Amino acid sequence: MWGLPDAHPILGKISNEEDHAKALVMMEMLLEDYDANLMLIDALSCSIAQYESDEDV
């Protein structure tokens, strides 16, 4: 359904506030079917956490 990081670069790296907002929306959508989207949820949560961590510096 969502494809790989090549199709959705925010799964690999979030580089600005707009991508961060999109990632949060995407996370909400993925969580609607947690079991089917577990790998994507994991990848996206890592990207979100990294961006938020970098933003705090």
What predicted TM-score, i.e. pTM, was given to this entire model?
0.78
Asked if 15 contacts 25 with a C-beta cutoff of 8 angstroms, the reply is no
Report the pLDDT value the prediction gives residue 40, as an integer from 0 to 100. Answer: 92
Exposed / middle / buried, residue 26 (Cβ in 10 Å: 0-12, 13-18, 19+) = buried
Report the pLDDT value the prediction gives residue 56, as an integer from 0 to 100. Answer: 66
Spans of all domains in the chain:
13-56
Gap between the Cα atoms of 8 and 33, Å rounded: 18
Asked if 11 contacts 5 with a C-beta cutoff of 8 angstroms, the reply is yes
Gap between the Cα atoms of 54 and 2, Å rounded: 25
The tens place of each residue's pLDDT in the chain, 57 residues long, gives 444 555 666 677 898 999 999 999 999 999 999 999 999 999 999 999 999 998 764
Report the pLDDT value the prediction gives residue 2, as an integer from 0 to 100. Answer: 46
